[in-house]
Amino acid sequence: MSKMRPEVTNRRIESFGKRFGQAHLYLACHAAFPLALTPDLLYRLWANFQRDIHAKMLGIPWIAVADLLLSSLCNEVGHELYEMDIAVRKELLKRLKDDPDFGQQRLNELANFLLDYIRQQLHSDDPDVQDLAQTQRWTALAYVQPSQAARELALALSKLNHKQDTAELVRFASLVNTVAEPLAEFEPLLIYTRGMASFVRGDIESAGNQFATLPVENNQIEVAGVSLLIPEQITKVSRQVEVTPVTQIPKSKNQKIKSSILNIFSSLLPSMQTSDTQQVAYASQSSYSRRYHETVAKGWLQTVLVISLGITALILGVRELKWLESWELRAYDQMLRLRPTEAPDPRILLVTVTEDDLRQYRWPVSDSKMNELLAKLESYQPRVIGINIYRPEQTNLGASLKRRDNIVSTCAFSSVGLPEIAPPSNFPIDNVGFIDLISDKDGIVRRSLLFANSPKDKKCTTNFSFAALLAIKYLEKQGIEPDFSDENNFKLVDAHSQKVKASFKILDSNAGGYKSMDDGGYQIMLNYRHPDSLAQEITFSQALKGNINPNWIKDRLVIIGTKSPSLHPGFYTPYNALPNQPARMPAVFIHAQIASQMLSTVLDKRPVIWYFSGSAESMWVWGWSLVGGVLAWRIQHSLFLGLAHGIAIVTLFGLCYVLFLQGGWIPLVPSALALVVTSVSVRVYVEFQPRLVHRQTEESRKNKLPNNNLTKKS
C-alpha cells in the first residue's frame, strides 16, 4: 500500500548500499522479512544470519543494526518500533530471493526464525501483543506452510462481522496483499479479501464484480476448507455479472489469471489508503505497534535496571571498602579550588611572626614583648584577641593588662605530633582553647574539631577549640550565644529572641566521601576561603611599632601567630596543590579559616558544607548508573556514545559544582564510575547478547527444537 514509485524505491536502496556497503545491505534484505522491527528483533536477525546458504561469512558488523534503524529504509512508527515502506520491503525481499546465495531457502529459514521468535508473544496476556505477534506469524507461515496460513487466515476472516469489523477486514486485506506471492495458489482468498475491502469502502459494484469470479453457493465460498460468508448486497450484484469462475478456467489460462489477480490486487489497494476505513485500520495497527513496543520495552528496561542495580551495588560496595575515598577527597579538593575567590573577611586581622621578626626579637619572644604587643593592640579596642604562640615560659602573659577577658590563649593535646602543651598558668580555662587540628590519611586538613571532651587529669582541660572559642566570644558581644541543647547540632542563636542564626551539624563517620572515618569529638567540614583572600595581615614588628591603621583593629578579631617555617612547617590543605601557593599552610591561618567560617555562617549566611544521607547518595549514584545504561542502549555508534558520555559527565560535574557552591558535597566519583561502568556493561551485553542467542539457537538445533532451521547450511 505504498505510493512510492519503483525508481524512488531503488534509488533509496542503492543510496543505502553506497553509504554503508554490501554487508549492511544484506542485513536490510533479511530485516525486510518481518512486518515490524524492534532493535531486539534486528539484533537477533544479525546474530542468526551471519552466513549465506553456502556457509560463507557475510561480515555484517553489529553497528549495522543501528545504521539500518536510523536510515531512510526504516520508519519509526512507535517508540523504537520500526516498519519498512511496503515498496522497499518487497524490493529487498525480491533481491534476497533472486540472489543465488540466499534464494527461497533463506526465506524459509527466516520464516522459521520468525515463528520461533514470536512464539512466546503469542501467549501474552495483552491481546494487542497477541494480535501483532499473530500477524507476524501468518507472514512467516505463508512461506513455509502456505496451506496452513491460508486456512488460519480464512478462519480468522470467518469470525469477522462485515458490519462491525470493517477496520479488521481492511487490515486483513492489507496483510493478505503483503503475503500475496507465497499465497498465490489461494487466489479465492486474495479475491475475497480484496472484495470485502471494496465492500466496506462502500464500492459494492466493484466488490460484486470481483466475487463474480468465485463459485458462490448459498452466499458462501470455500477457502482452504473454510466457508466464508459473502454479504447479500454483493451476491445480488455478482449474479448480474457473467464471469467464468476461476475453478472452471483451464489450467494454462488459470496461471495467467493468477498473475492478473496479483496485478489488480496491487493496483487497487493503494487507493484504499486514502479511504476513511483504511485510516481506521492504520490507526488500529499503530495502536498494536505501540502496545507491542511497550511490552518489548519492558524487557529492555528490565535489562538496564538489573545491570544498573548490579553496578551500583558494586560501586557502593567498593566505596564502603574505602577504595574510592582518596579519589573522592581529591575531587572535593578540586571543587574547593574551583570556587570563585571570596572577599577577605573584614572582621579578622592576622598578626604574624615572620623570619625577620625572629631575627629581630629572637625566639622565644619574651613576656615583656608579648605584653607590650597586647597593650598596643588593646589601645585600638579590638573585640577579641587570640594568641596562638607557644612559649615555654609564659607565666606573666598579659599581667600588665587592665582586662584579659577578651584575650584567648591556647593549649594542646598530644595529637599533633607534639607533647601535650599546658595553657598559661595565669589564664582562666574559660579563656583557653585547644589548637589541635585533624589531618586525613594524606596529611590534608579538611575537617575542623570545634569541641572535644578533655580528661581532667590532663594539662589541657578545655572543651573548646581555639578557633571556636574566638568566634563564640566575638559573637557573644553582638548578642549571639551558643546553644548546646542538641548534642549533634550545635547552634548559635540570638540571645533575646532565641532565633537560630546558624547551625553546625556534627559529621558522621560516613560523611560525604569519607567511609568509617574517626569522628571523635565535634567535627565539621572546614569551608576554606582562598588563602590569598583570607583576612588582612600585618607583621609582629608592624604591630609592635604601631605602623598600622587603627581601623584595622577596632572591634575586630585579632589573631596572633607564627608563620615561620623554622618554628613549625605548617599543614597541608586542599589549596597547597595550586602552583602559586606554599607547600603548607601555617597553623594560625587554619585557625583563622575556622573562625572565619563560623562568623561568616552566622553573619553573612555563608553556607556550611552539607551532604546527602546514605540512602540519598545511593539513589543519586543509581540514577547516574541508569543514565549510563540508557545511553548505551539508545546510542550504538561508538563515537556518538563517547560524545554522550562526555556530555553526561560534564553535566554531572556541573550539577555537583553548582550544588557545591551552595555547600553541597555530592558524590561525583562514584556517580561518574557508575555511569561509565554501567554504560560499558550494557554495551557489552548489547554486543554479545545476540551471539549468545546464536549459540542458544545452535544448541536448539542440535536438540531438534522447532527452530532447527535457523542455522541451516547447504
What share of the chain has pLDDT > 70, as a percent?
84
| pLDDT grade for 384, boundaries at 50, 70 and 90 | very high
Domain-ending residue, one of 557, 585, 611: 611
Residue 484, domain member (yes or no): yes
pTM more than 0.85: no
Most confidently predicted of 92-101, 620-629, 632-641, 690-699? 620-629
pLDDT class for 275, splitting at 50, 70, 90? very low
Q: Is 479 contained in some domain?
A: yes
411 with 529, same domain?
A: yes
Q: Is 111 inside a domain boundary?
A: no
- Residue 627 belongs to a domain: yes
| 266 and 410 together in one domain | no
Q: How far is CA 337 from CA 404, 421, 438, 530, 641, in A?
A: 39, 34, 20, 8, 31
Give the whole-angstrom CA distance, residue 399 versus residue 379. Answer: 16
671 vs 300, more confident: 671
**Residue 626 sits in the same domain as residue 530:** no
Q: Which domain holds residue 650?
A: 307-320+612-688
- Is residue 561 located within the same domain as residue 628? no
Indicate the range of 192-196, 440-444, 540-544, 623-627 predicted with least confidence.
Answer: 192-196
Cell of 159: 469470525
Residue 694 has pLDDT above 60, yes or no: no
Q: Is residue 565 part of a domain?
A: yes
C-alpha cell belonging to residue 679: 554504560
* C-alpha to C-alpha distance for 555 and 478, rounded to whole angstroms: 11
Rounded Cα distance, 38 and 83, in Å: 9
CA 433 – CA 435 distance, rounded (Å): 6
On whether residue 497 sits in a domain, the answer given is: yes
Q: In sequence order, what are the beta bridge partners of 665?
A: 611
Q: Which of 611, 645, 666 is the last residue of a domain?
A: 611
Same domain for 250 and 363:
no
In a domain, 21, yes or no: no
CA distances from 395 to 29, 390, 399, 456, 667 (A): 97, 12, 9, 21, 50
The packing angle between helices 669-702 and 39-48, to 10°, is 50
pLDDT (tens digit per residue) in 296-322 = 445 577 889 999 999 999 999 999 999
Is residue 385 domain-shared with residue 452, that is, in the same domain?
yes
- Residues 459 and 537 both lie in one domain: yes
Give pLDDT tens digits for 422-466.
888 888 899 999 999 999 999 999 999 999 988 777 888 999 999
Same domain, 314 and 351: no
Q: Final residue of a domain: which of 611, 637, 661?
A: 611
- Count: domains in the chain: 3
Residues 483, 504 within the same domain: yes
The SS3 of residue 570 is coil
Considering the domain boundaries, does residue 70 fall inside one? no
Q: Based on the fold, state whether residues 423 and 532 are members of the same structural domain.
A: yes
User: 291 with 125: CB under 8 angstroms?
Assistant: no
Together in a domain, 502 and 577: yes
**Is beta strand 81-84 parallel, antiparallel or unpaired with respect to 74-78?**
antiparallel
Statement to judge: residues 349 and 266 lie in one domain: no
